[in-house]
Amino acid sequence: MNALPWLIITPLFGAFSMPILGLLGRKVREYWAVIISGFTFAIAARIFYSIWKSNEILLYTLGDVTPIGKGVNFPIRIIWEVDLFGALLALTVTFVSFLAIVYSLGYMKDDSGLDKYYTLVLVLELGMLGIVITGDIFNFYVFLEIMSIASYVLVAFRNDTWEGIEAGIKYMFVGSLASSFILLGIALLYGQYGTLTMAYLAVKVAENPTLVSRVALAFLIGGLLFKSGAVPVHMWLSDAHPAAPSSISAMLSGLVIKVGGVYAIARIVFGVFNPGLHEYLKALGAPSIDVNTLGWAIIFFGCLTLIVGNAMAVIQTDMKRLFAFSSVGQIGYILLGIGIGVVAYGEKAGEIALTGAVYHIVNHAVIKALLFFVAGAVIHQVGTKNLNELSGLARRMPLTTLSFLIGAAAIIGLPPLNGFASKWLIYESSAMYNPILAVIAVVGTVFSLAAYTRVLFTFLGIESERVKTATEPEKTMLIPMLFLVVIIILMGLLPWQINERVMLPVAKMLEQLKGEYIMALIKFIGGV
């Protein structure tokens, strides 16, 4: 039996049954959310394992066995096409969502309207899972909107605070604009090529790369850069993350900006406008899309993002805002990796960069989830996130401080922890490709080191009045944090094994040197 549909069915069922089950009481509602998200995690793990084992792209047609319609010879139905990259993201999404839901049990217990909260969290998870498994570009848009709308509402969930409403409105207005860019891009592509299946679209674009396809690409990349919080359009992120409940910030920062942003960029670039295909066309003298320009545009925004994001993190006095800017900075590294993967396509440097980007997506999801959990615990126990008021938390909250120390060390990239390997790959590949890019990346890390050292002084330092009565948070909040600490250390101890066995195959499958993404569809519909 194909497990793929269950990845969508389970959270969908969980979300839609929540209002009814929620009538049975608070405990039932909470256990139901935990069970559903745990079960989704198990399904994602199974799908990831089967794809990793067989090293083949998994396809699934909605409503029929083949996507081919009657009387036509091209796919007309929605297909889901999951390669290792998608499966890895699905695994990360379900893992972090599961921990965020467990964390919410303690963290959200003083809030009201929790039946809606758990419904929305499951819908958010559903939207992200849909994005990573779909092979249809309009279906991608629908899931992107599911994810975006759920996150608008969750950012403004505490609607009795001014900052929640303010950030929610800001996020919604500009987010809708970005979504409409993406929709416009998709509409242009459909108008030009008459298909919405990504792999088939790739064939069509290669046959006839018109100006319209270039404009569509620009609209898509522009919209998706917004969703990932790249620099000129990162302002929503630095407001949304501090205003949202911390469990949601962990999901927003760890997952939403990666799935809705950098994953989608990588998928559109490598799946639809494959650099290898277009370089091949160029070599033949046929019309093709200039992927180098695209790659350099991504590198440019990546470098800008990693400098501005990390530099802005240094001057923050609000803990969650600092973490939010640091997320912007880390997105810069991922974009830099993807950009080098495009311009150095088919070379060693490109492959290493792409591996580093994929690795950093997973690492940063885990680390940033931990850091936002820590921030949430501090806010929940002390009641402030202003770094100037907080000082000397270590004595009253030793486990939380330990989690912060590990998280901060990992995000800077200190060797025995997991952030090191992924950043190293990005530095190494950028140094191989163009040393100036490596210098920019290192400068970004120096800023990030400065930012986190400041918070470290806050946690250790002399005890302030405010924290004298603080205590450790309850178990449901502590356990996800400590679990993530263990994961970070374990991943840090086996960096090159993970890289060799998981991340490298993922990057190879994403890069698809032989057009695997397209070939998988052709094989599936029984073509050549």
Partner 1 sequence: MNVLYTTVGLIGVYLYVSFVSLLWDGLDRKLVARMQRRVGPPLLQPFYDFLKLASKESIIPRDSNKMFEVSPILALAASIALLAYTPIGFGPILATKGDVVVFIYLLALIAFIRVIGAVSSGSPYAQIGAQREVIMLASREAPMMLGLFVILWRLAKLDVEKPFSLETLYQHNIWEIGTPLTIVGSLVLLIVFIFWLASEIEVGYFNIPEAETEVAEGPMAEYSGRYLALFKLSSSLKEFASASLVVAIFFPWGLSQYLGISGMGAMLVDLIFHTIKVFTVLFISMSLFRAITGRLRVTQAVNLFWSRILPASIVGAILLAIDILGVIA
Interaction site with partner 1 (CB under 8 A): 392, 394-395, 398, 401, 414-415, 453, 456-457, 460-463
The CB density around residue 180, as the number of other CB atoms within 10 Å, is 13
CB of 422 to partner 1, least distance (A): 16
CB of 408 to partner 1, least distance (A): 12
CB of 114 to partner 1, least distance (A): 35
CB nearer partner 1, residue 42 or residue 399:
399
CB of 473 to partner 1, least distance (A): 17
CB of 472 to partner 1, least distance (A): 13
CB of 139 to partner 1, least distance (A): 45
CB of 394 to partner 1, least distance (A): 4
State the DSSP H helix or E strand holding residue 81, giving kind and residue range, or none if neither: strand 79-82
Distance CA 126, CA 108 (A): 21
CB nearer partner 1, residue 49 or residue 457:
457
The CB density around residue 309, as the number of other CB atoms within 10 Å, is 29
CB of 415 to partner 1, least distance (A): 6
Residues 6+ apart with CB under 8 A from 480: 99, 100, 102, 103, 373
On whether the CB atoms of residues 354 and 504 are closer than 8 A, the answer is: no
Question: Alpha helices, DSSP H only, in 2-83?
Answer: 4-21, 26-54
Question: Alpha helices, DSSP H only, in 194-272?
Answer: 198-207, 211-228, 235-243, 246-251, 257, 264-267
Distance CA 61, CA 67 (A): 6
CB of 420 to partner 1, least distance (A): 10
Residues 6+ apart with CB under 8 A from 334: 258, 262, 302, 357, 360, 361, 364
Structural tokens at position 215: 């404009």
CB of 20 to partner 1, least distance (A): 47
CB nearer partner 1, residue 143 or residue 452:
452
Distance CA 191, CA 137 (A): 13
On whether the CB atoms of residues 74 and 200 are closer than 8 A, the answer is: yes
CB nearer partner 1, residue 54 or residue 471:
471
Q: Give the gyration radius of the chain's Cα atoms.
A: 22
CB nearer partner 1, residue 20 or residue 462:
462
CB nearer partner 1, residue 164 or residue 419:
419
Residues 6+ apart with CB under 8 A from 329: 305, 306, 308, 309, 310, 313, 444, 447, 448
On whether the CB atoms of residues 5 and 93 are closer than 8 A, the answer is: no
Q: CA angle, 239 as apex, 88 and 378 as ends, to 5°? A: 80
Structural tokens at position 433: 């490709």
CB of 461 to partner 1, least distance (A): 6
CB nearer partner 1, residue 115 or residue 463:
463
CB nearer partner 1, residue 363 or residue 401:
401
Distance CA 377, CA 318 (A): 15
Q: What single string gives the DSSP state of each residue in 32-53?
A: HHHHHHHHHHHHHHHHHHHHHH
Query: Phi and psi of 481, rounded to 5°?
Result: -65, -50
Q: Sort strands 79-82 and 58-61 into parallel, antiparallel or unpaired.
A: antiparallel
Distance CA 47, CA 87 (A): 7
- Residue closest to 385 by CA, chosen among 412, 377, 100: 377
- Residue closest to 116 by CA, chosen among 33, 3, 50: 33
State the DSSP H helix or E strand holding residue 121, giving kind and residue range, or none if neither: helix 114-133
CB of 448 to partner 1, least distance (A): 14
CB nearer partner 1, residue 65 or residue 462:
462
CB of 241 to partner 1, least distance (A): 27
Q: Is the Cα dihedral 334, 336, 337, 339 positive or negative?
A: positive
**Where does residue 465 fall: left (phi above 0), alpha (psi -120 to 50 degrees), or beta otherwise?**
alpha
